[in-house]
C-alpha cells in the first residue's frame, strides 16, 4: 500500500496564492481561494470574463503573458490549472524547486497537494479524498454527505462557537463538557435550529447551561449487548458505547461489539464463565462505584439482556444504595437470538402458548418446579444448561413430559460458528455429548424445536445423529 495523504486544513487569509490559467477551471479555484481569504494572483495570457472583472476591480492580481517563474514570488501555494500539460508540468517543476506546495488540476502524479471534495456547513467542513485512487467514489461520498448532513449544522457550530467561553467556564472538565454537549445535541436544540427558530435555540442553550449542575457525579448505564453480532445492538446501546469513559464488560460481549465503542474508553473485562477465572460480583460492584464516583460515564455491558440471568437487578440495587444514577438499555436475549437464528418460532400456533426462560444453573436447578415445566403446550428455553442436560432430561420425563418431545441445543447462537443439535428430549444429552457441544449454548424443549429442521436459515443445517457429525 502506498502511504496515505496527510490531511490538512490551511489558513490562507492574507496569503498569496498563484493560480496559473485563465479559464473556467481556474475561475472555480480562484473562487474557492477567495472565499478562504487568500490574496490570489492569476497568471495567464488572457482571463475569462469573471476573472477579468475581478482583476479590473482589484479583487485579484493579474500576471499577463506566458508562465514565468517570477510569478511564484511571494506565493505560499500554487495551483496549475491550464489546459496545457506542458505548462502545468513547468509550473509544477518551478514550484517544487522553490519548495512551494503545488496542485496540478487533474494530475495527481505531479501534485504535491490535493484539493479534497468537501461538504461545508458554516465553520464545519468535511473533506473527502481518495488520494487520486478513486475520484468518482470520493465524489459520490461527498454527495451522500451533502444530502445527509443537516443544513443547520453550520448554525449549530456557530452557536457553540459563540458560547465557547461560557461552556468552558461552566464545564472546566473536558469529559463533563462532552457529556453536556452530547445531552444538548440529543435534546430539542438541533430541531429548533432546523425549524429556523434561532431565538428558541439560544434560549434552549441558556436553559441547559442553567440547569447543568457543576456535576461531578458519574453515571452507570447497564447495557444489553445482545448475542454478539453488532447488527443486533440497539441504537441506544451504540450511542452509549460512544459516550462511555469506562466499559465493564462480560466475556459474552463480543470483540465486534466492543470495537464500536469510543476508542479512548477504558475497557475492563469482568467476565464470569463457569469453570474459568472468576471476577466476584462484589468486585464488579466496587469497580462500578469507583469509576462512577470519579465522575465517569460507565457502561456496564452485558451479553444478551441485562435483566435476563445477568444479575442486572443486583447491580442496580447496589447503585441505588450508593446514590449513583443509572439507566438500563435492554438487549436481545440469548433465547430470542438463538430461536431466530435456528429457525425456531417460539410460540408457533398450535404448538405453544407460552415461553419460559429458565435457568439451569446448578444450584437453581434443584429448586425448579419441574411439574409445571413438564406441562405441554409451552416452549422451555434453558440458559446455562449444557452441563445440566442429563438432569433436565431426567426430571422432565419423570414429571410426565413425553420422551419424544422435540428439543434443540443452539451453541454460539447468531455467531458464524453457530451449531444446532436437534433431537428428542430423550436422545439429546447423548447427541450433545457426541457432538461435543460446549458453552454458551441454549436448550429449547417443546414441539417448536422440531421446526428448525425445515426453517433453519443461518449457518450449517441442524445436526441430528452422531454418525453425521463429520458430514
- Which entry of 250, 302, 404, 426 is annotated as an active-site residue? 250
Which residues between 247 and 266 bind ligand SAH (CB under 6 A)?
252
SS (HEC) of 34-50:
HHCCCEEEEECCCCCHH
Residue 41: all three cell numbers together: 494572483
Stretch 440-469: interaction string toward ligand SAH, x if CB under 6 A = xxx---------------------------
Conformational region of residue 122, where left means phi above 0, alpha means psi within -120 to 50, and beta covers everything else: left
Stretch 190-229: interaction string toward ligand SAH, x if CB under 6 A = -------------------------------------xx-
Give yes or no for residue 374 binding ligand SAH (CB under 6 A): no
Give yes or no for residue 330 binding ligand SAH (CB under 6 A): no
For residues 318 and 316, give the distance between their C-alpha atoms in angstroms, rounded to a whole number: 5
Helices (H) and strands (E) in the chain, counts: 19, 17
Residue 122: all three cell numbers together: 458554516
Specify the DSSP element, H or E, that contains 117. Answer: strand 117-121
Q: Which CB sits closer to ligand SAH, 155 or 411?
A: 411
Q: Which CB sits closer to ligand SAH, 190 or 312?
A: 312
Give yes or no for residue 429 binding ligand SAH (CB under 6 A): no
Would you say 161 and 139 are in contact if contact means Cβ atoms under 8 Å apart?
no
For residues 139 and 130, give the distance between their C-alpha atoms in angstroms, rounded to a whole number: 9
Q: Is 45 annotated as a binding residue?
A: yes
- Annotated active-site residue 250? The verdict is yes
Give the residue, chosen from 33, 87, 246, 305, that forms a contact with ligand SAH under the rule CB under 6 A. Answer: 305
Report the candidate in 402, 406, 434, 437 with the shortest Cα–Cα distance to residue 422.
406
Give the residue, chosen from 304, 330, 446, 462, that forms a contact with ligand SAH under the rule CB under 6 A. Answer: 304
Q: Which CB sits closer to ligand SAH, 40 or 386?
A: 386
The three-state secondary structure class of 287 is: helix
In the bound complex, what is the minimum distance in angstroms from residue 5's beta carbon to ligand SAH?
A: 42
For residues 320 and 342, give the distance between their C-alpha atoms in angstroms, rounded to a whole number: 39
Q: What is the DSSP string of 53-116?
A: HHHHHTSSEEE-SS--GGGGTT-SEEEE--S-HHHHHHHHHHHHHTT-EEEETT-GGG-SS-PP
In the bound complex, what is the minimum distance in angstroms from residue 441's beta carbon to ligand SAH?
A: 5
Stretch that binds ligand SAH, among 99-107, 231-239, 391-399, 433-441 (CB under 6 A): 433-441
- For residue 278, CA distances in Å to 26, 252, 359 come to 67, 14, 19
Strands 325-329 and 219-224: parallel
Would you say 382 and 392 are in contact if contact means Cβ atoms under 8 Å apart?
yes
Q: Which CB sits closer to ligand SAH, 88 or 412?
A: 412
For residues 7 and 48, give the distance between their C-alpha atoms in angstroms, rounded to a whole number: 32
The three-state secondary structure class of 144 is: helix
Beta pairing partners, 358: 382
In the bound complex, what is the minimum distance in angstroms from residue 414's beta carbon to ligand SAH?
A: 6
Stretch that binds ligand SAH, among 101-109, 301-309, 345-353, 455-463 (CB under 6 A): 301-309
Cβ partners under 8 Å of residue 32, min gap 6 = 115
Stretch that binds ligand SAH, among 21-29, 262-270, 304-312, 367-375 (CB under 6 A): 304-312
Give yes or no for residue 406 binding ligand SAH (CB under 6 A): no
In the bound complex, what is the minimum distance in angstroms from residue 179's beta carbon to ligand SAH?
A: 27
In the bound complex, what is the minimum distance in angstroms from residue 403's beta carbon to ligand SAH?
A: 23
Give yes or no for residue 104 binding ligand SAH (CB under 6 A): no
Give yes or no for residue 341 binding ligand SAH (CB under 6 A): no
Residue 441: all three cell numbers together: 449454548
- Annotated active-site residue 264? The verdict is no
Give yes or no for residue 270 binding ligand SAH (CB under 6 A): no
Give the residue, chosen from 309, 318, 326, 444, that forms a contact with ligand SAH under the rule CB under 6 A. Answer: 309
For residues 33 and 56, give the distance between their C-alpha atoms in angstroms, rounded to a whole number: 18
In the bound complex, what is the minimum distance in angstroms from residue 249's beta carbon to ligand SAH?
A: 12
For residues 100 and 352, give the distance between their C-alpha atoms in angstroms, rounded to a whole number: 77
Q: Is 271 annotated as a binding residue?
A: no
**How many residues belong to the site for ligand SAH (CB under 6 A)?**
24
Q: Which CB sits closer to ligand SAH, 102 or 365?
A: 365
- Which entry of 106, 107, 272, 426 is annotated as an active-site residue? 272
User: Binding site residues for S-adenosyl-L-methionine, as ranges?
Assistant: 227, 303-305, 308, 333-334, 384, 413
> Catalytic positions, please?
250, 272
> Which residue numbers belong to the known binding site?
24-25, 45-46, 227, 303-305, 308, 333-334, 384, 413
State the residues that interact with ligand SAH by CB under 6 A: 227-228, 252, 302-305, 308-310, 333-334, 338, 383-384, 410, 412-415, 439-442
Amino acid at each position: 500500500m502506498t502511504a496515505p495523504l496527510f490531511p490538512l486544513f490551511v489558513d490562507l487569509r492574507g496569503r498569496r496564492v498563484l493560480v496559473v490559467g485563465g479559464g473556467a477551471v481556474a475561475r472555480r479555484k480562484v473562487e474557492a481561494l477567495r472565499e478562504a481569504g487568500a490574496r490570489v494572483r492569476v497568471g495567464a495570457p488572457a482571463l475569462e470574463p469573471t476573472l477579468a472583472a475581478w482583476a479590473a476591480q482589484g479583487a485579484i492580481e493579474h500576471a499577463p503573458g506566458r508562465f514565468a517563474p517570477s510569478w511564484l514570488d511571494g506565493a505560499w501555494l500554487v495551483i496549475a490549472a491550464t489546459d496545457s500539460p506542458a505548462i502545468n508540468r513547468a509550473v509544477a517543476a518551478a514550484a517544487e524547486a522553490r519548495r512551494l506546495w503545488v496542485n496540478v488540476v487533474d494530475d495527481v502524479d505531479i501534485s504535491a497537494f490535493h484539493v479534497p471534495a468537501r461538504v461545508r456547513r458554516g465553520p464545519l467542513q468535511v473533506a473527502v479524498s481518495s488520494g487520486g485512487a478513486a475520484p468518482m467514489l470520493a465524489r459520490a461520498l461527498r454527495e451522500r454527505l451533502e444530502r445527509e448532513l443537516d443544513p443547520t449544522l453550520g448554525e449549530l457550530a456557530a452557536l457553540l462557537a459563540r458560547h465557547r467561553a461560557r461552556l468552558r467556564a461552566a464545564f472546566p472538565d473536558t469529559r463533563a463538557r462532552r457529556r453536556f454537549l452530547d445531552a444538548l445535541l440529543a435534546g430539542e436544540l438541533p430541531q429548533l435550529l432546523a425549524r429556523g427558530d434561532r431565538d428558541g435555540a439560544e434560549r434552549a442553550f441558556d436553559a441547559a447551561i442553567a440547569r447543568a449542575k457543576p456535576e461531578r457525579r458519574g453515571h452507570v448505564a447497564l447495557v444489553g449487548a445482545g448475542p454478539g453480532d453488532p447488527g443486533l445492538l440497539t441504537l441506544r446501546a451504540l450511542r452509549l458505547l460512544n459516550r462511555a469513559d469506562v466499559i465493564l464488560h462480560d466475556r459474552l460481549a463480543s470483540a465486534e461489539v466492543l470495537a464500536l465503542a469510543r476508542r479512548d474508553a477504558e475497557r475492563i473485562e469482568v467476565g464470569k464463565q463457569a469453570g474459568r477465572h472468576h471476577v466476584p460480583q462484589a468486585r464488579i460492584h466496587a469497580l462500578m462505584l469507583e469509576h462512577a464516583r470519579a465522575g465517569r460515564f460507565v457502561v456496564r455491558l452485558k451479553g444478551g439482556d441485562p435483566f435476563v440471568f445477568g444479575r442486572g437487578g443486583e447491580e442496580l440495587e447496589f447503585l441505588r444504595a450508593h446514590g449513583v444514577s443509572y439507566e438500563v438499555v435492554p438487549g436481545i436475549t440469548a433465547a430470542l437470538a438463538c430461536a431466530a437464528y435456528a429457525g425456531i418460532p417460539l410460540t408457533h400456533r398450535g404448538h405453544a402458548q407460552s415461553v419460559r426462560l429458565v435457568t439451569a444453573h446448578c444450584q437453581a436447578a434443584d429448586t425448579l418446579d419441574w411439574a409445571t415445566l413438564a406441562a405441554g403446550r409451552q416452549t422451555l428455553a434453558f440458559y446455562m444448561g449444557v452441563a445440566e442436560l442429563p438432569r433436565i432430561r431426567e426430571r422432565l420425563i419423570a414429571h410426565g413430559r413425553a420422551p419424544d418431545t422435540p428439543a434443540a441445543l443452539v451453541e454460539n447462537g447468531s455467531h458464524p460458528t453457530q451449531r444446532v443439535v436437534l433431537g428428542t428430549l430423550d436422545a439429546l444429552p447423548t447427541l450433545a455429548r457426541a457432538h461435543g457441544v460446549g458453552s454458551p449454548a441454549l436448550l429449547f424443549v417443546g414441539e417448536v424445536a422440531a421446526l428448525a429442521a425445515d426453517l433453519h436459515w443461518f449457518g450449517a443445517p441442524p445436526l441430528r445423529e452422531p454418525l453425521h457429525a463429520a458430514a
